[in-house]
Amino acid sequence: MLFAQRFTSIAVSRRYASTVADLYKGLINGDRVCLARSITLVESTHKEKQQHAKELLGQVLQGLKQRQQQQPRKPISFRIGLSGSPGAGKSTFIDIFGRYLLKQGHKLAVLTVDPSSSTTGGSILGDKTRMLELSREPNAYIRTSPTSGTLGGVTRTTNDAIVLCEAAGYDVILVETVGVGQSEFAVVDMVDMFCVLIPPGSGDELQGMKKGIMEVVDLVIITKADGDLLPEVRRLQSDWSSALRLMRRRSRHWSPKVLAVSSRKSTGIDKAYEQMFAFENAMVESGEFMKIRSNQLQKWMWNNVKDRILDQFLADEEIQRLIQSYEQRVVRGLITPFVAADAILNIFGKAKVDKSA
Amino acid sequence: MLFAQRFTSIAVSRRYASTVADLYKGLINGDRVCLARSITLVESTHKEKQQHAKELLGQVLQGLKQRQQQQPRKPISFRIGLSGSPGAGKSTFIDIFGRYLLKQGHKLAVLTVDPSSSTTGGSILGDKTRMLELSREPNAYIRTSPTSGTLGGVTRTTNDAIVLCEAAGYDVILVETVGVGQSEFAVVDMVDMFCVLIPPGSGDELQGMKKGIMEVVDLVIITKADGDLLPEVRRLQSDWSSALRLMRRRSRHWSPKVLAVSSRKSTGIDKAYEQMFAFENAMVESGEFMKIRSNQLQKWMWNNVKDRILDQFLADEEIQRLIQSYEQRVVRGLITPFVAADAILNIFGKAKVDKSA
Note the pLDDT of residue A76. 95
B-facing residues of A in 50-69 (CB < 8 A) are 54, 57-58, 61-62, 64-65, 68
Res. A8: pLDDT tops 50: no
CA atoms within 13 A on the CB side of A156: 29
Enumerate long-range contacts of A207-213, CB under 8 Å, 24 or more apart.
Answer: A207/A236, A207/B246, A208/B246, A208/B247, A208/B248, A208/B249, A209/B246, A209/B247, A209/B248, A210/A179, A210/A184, A210/B248, A211/B212, A211/B215, A211/B247, A211/B248, A212/A185, A212/B211, A212/B212, A212/B215, A213/A83, A213/A179, A213/A184
Q: Quick one: what percent of chain A has pLDDT higher than 70?
A: 81
Indicate whether B6 pLDDT > 70. Answer: no
- Residue A301 falls inside a structural domain: no
pLDDT of residue A299: 87
Give the residue from chain A lying closest to B335, CA to CA: A58
Whole-angstrom CA distances from B54 to B111, B160, B186, B240 are: 20, 10, 22, 43
Residues A58 and A117 in one domain: no
Is B293 part of a structural domain of the chain? no
pLDDT at B40 over 60: yes
Domain boundary among B269, B285, B301: B285
Please tell me the total count of domains within chain B.
Answer: 3
Mean pLDDT, chain A, integer: 83
Asked if B60 and B27 touch (Cβ cutoff 8 Å), the reply is yes
Give residue A9's pLDDT.
46
Q: Do A263 and A131 fall within a single domain?
A: yes
**pLDDT higher than threshold 70 for residue A7:** no
Same domain assignment for residues B183 and B214: yes
B210/A357 CB distance under 8 A: no
pLDDT value for A202: 59
Nearest residue of B to residue A210, measured between CA atoms: B248
pLDDT of residue A31: 94
**What's the pLDDT band for B209 if we cut at 50, 70, 90?**
low
Following DSSP, what letter does each residue of B11-27 receive, concatenated?
HHHHHHHHHHHHHHHHH
- B220 and B342, same structural domain? no
Q: What is the pLDDT of residues B160-206, one digit of tens each?
A: 999 999 999 999 999 998 765 567 777 888 999 999 998 887 654 44
- Is position A295 within any domain? no
Q: How many CB atoms lie within 10 A of CB A54?
A: 18
Question: Residue B176 is part of a domain; what is its CATH number?
Answer: 3.40.50.300
Taking the CA atoms of residue A305, residue A309, residue A311 and residue A317 in that order, the dihedral angle to the nearest 10 degrees is 170
**Do the beta carbons of residue A164 and residue A61 sit within 8 Å?**
no
Of A65, A308, A327, the CB nearest to B341: A308
| Distance, CA of B215 to CA of A89 (rounded, Å) | 25
Where is B141: in which H helix or E strand? strand B140-144
CB pairs under 8 A between A and B: 180
B65 and B84 together in one domain:
no
For B6, other C-beta atoms within 10 Å of its C-beta total: 10
In chain A, residues 160-219 whose CB comes closer than 8 Å to chain B: 160, 163, 204-205, 207-212, 214-215
Q: Please, which pLDDT band fits residue B219 given cuts at 50, 70 and 90?
A: very high
Whether A53 and A136 share a structural domain: no
Segment of B39-53, B161-175, B335-349 carrying the highest mean pLDDT: B161-175
Buried b (16+ CB within 10 A) or exposed e, A227-250: eebeebbeebbebbebbbebbeeb
Query: Strand pairing partners for B108?
Result: B140, B172
Looking at the structure, tell me whether residues B223 and B116 fall in a common domain. yes
Q: Which of A301, A302, A322, A326 to mutate to test the interface with B (most CBs of B within 10 A)?
A: A301
pLDDT bin (cut points 50, 70, 90) of residue A119 is: very low
Whether residues A59 and A82 share a domain: the answer is: no
Task: Give A205's pLDDT tier (boundaries 50, 70, 90).
Answer: very low
Tell me A146's DSSP state: -
Last residue of a domain, one of B285, B304, B325: B285
Does residue B326 surpass a pLDDT of 60? yes
Q: Is the pLDDT of residue A225 over 90?
A: yes
Burial of A252: CB neighbours in 10 Å, binned 0-12, 13-18, 19+: exposed
pLDDT at A10 over 50: no
* Pairwise CB contact (< 8 Å): B246 & A245: no
End of a domain among B49, B70, B91? B70
Q: How confident is the model at residue A239 (pLDDT cuts 50, 70, 90)?
A: confident
Residues A243 and B246 sit within 8 Å (Cβ to Cβ)? yes
How confident is the model at residue A122, as a pLDDT? 42
Please check whether residues A128 and A215 belong to one and the same domain: yes
Q: Is residue B79 part of a domain?
A: yes
Answer yes or no: is A46 within a domain.
yes
Largest CA distance in chain B: 74
Residue A335 has pLDDT above 80, yes or no: yes
pLDDT score, position B265:
94
Q: What is the pLDDT of residue B44?
A: 86
pLDDT digits (tens, 9 = 90+) for A95-111: 999 999 999 999 999 99
Q: What is the pLDDT of residue A166?
A: 96
What secondary structure does DSSP assign to A167-236, as a single string? HTT-SEEEEEEES-TTHHHHHHTT-SEEEEEE-SSS-HHHHPBPTTGGGT-SEEEE---SGGGHHHHHHH
Q: Identify whether residues A101 and A247 lie together within a single domain.
A: yes
Q: Which range among A95-99, A152-156, B235-239, B316-320 shows the weakest confidence by mean pLDDT?
A: A152-156
Query: Residue A63: CB partners within 8 Å, gap ≥ 6?
Result: A24, A28, A167
CATH of the domain at B26: 1.20.5.170
pLDDT digits (tens, 9 = 90+) for A16-32: 446 899 999 999 999 99
Q: Which residue has the higher pLDDT, A211 or B60?
A: B60
Backbone angles phi, psi at B99, to 5 degrees: -65, -30
Residue A255 has pLDDT above 90, yes or no: yes
Contact partners, residue A282, CB within 8 Å, separation at least 6: A251, A253, A254
User: A291 lies in a domain?
Assistant: no
Q: Are residues A47 and A77 in the same domain?
A: no
Q: Which domain holds residue A9?
A: 1-70
CA-based nearest distance B99→chain A, Å:
31
What's the pLDDT at A130?
A: 75
Q: What is the pLDDT of residue B249?
A: 76
Specify whether A139 is located in the same domain as A274.
Answer: yes
- Burial string for B37-60 (b: 16+ CB within 10 Å, else e) reads bbbbbbbeeeeeeebbbbbbbbbb
* A301, A336, A341: residue with CB nearest B330: A301
Q: Nearest CB to B301: which of A239, A337, A352?
A: A337
Q: What are the tens digits of pLDDT across the range B147-164? A: 455 555 667 788 899 999
Q: CA B148 to CA B129: how far, in whole Å?
A: 21
Inside any domain, residue A290? no
Residue of A nearest to B205 (CA): A248
Considering the domain boundaries, does residue B291 fall inside one? no
Q: How far is CA B186 from CA B27, B32, B138, in A?
A: 26, 26, 29
Judged by CB atoms closer than 8 Å, whether chains meet at B212 and A215 is answered as: yes
Residues A122-177: pLDDT tens digits? 444 554 467 888 989 999 999 986 545 555 566 778 889 999 999 999 999 999 98
Hey, are the CB atoms on B65 and A334 less than 8 Å from each other?
Answer: yes
| Total residues belonging to chain A | 357
How far apart CA B89 and CA B96 sit, in angstroms, is 11
Residues 6+ apart with CB under 8 A from B80: B172, B173, B174, B175, B191, B192, B193, B194, B195, B276
Q: Which residue among B61, B300, B331 places its CB closest to the CB of A294?
A: B331
Interchain pair A336, B160: CB under 8 A: yes
Q: Which residues in chain A (218-257) have CB-CB distances under 8 A to chain B?
A: 238-240, 242-243, 245-249
At B206 the pLDDT is 40
pLDDT for B149: 53
Quick one: closest CA in B to A62, which residue? Answer: B334
**pLDDT over 90 at A333, yes or no:** no
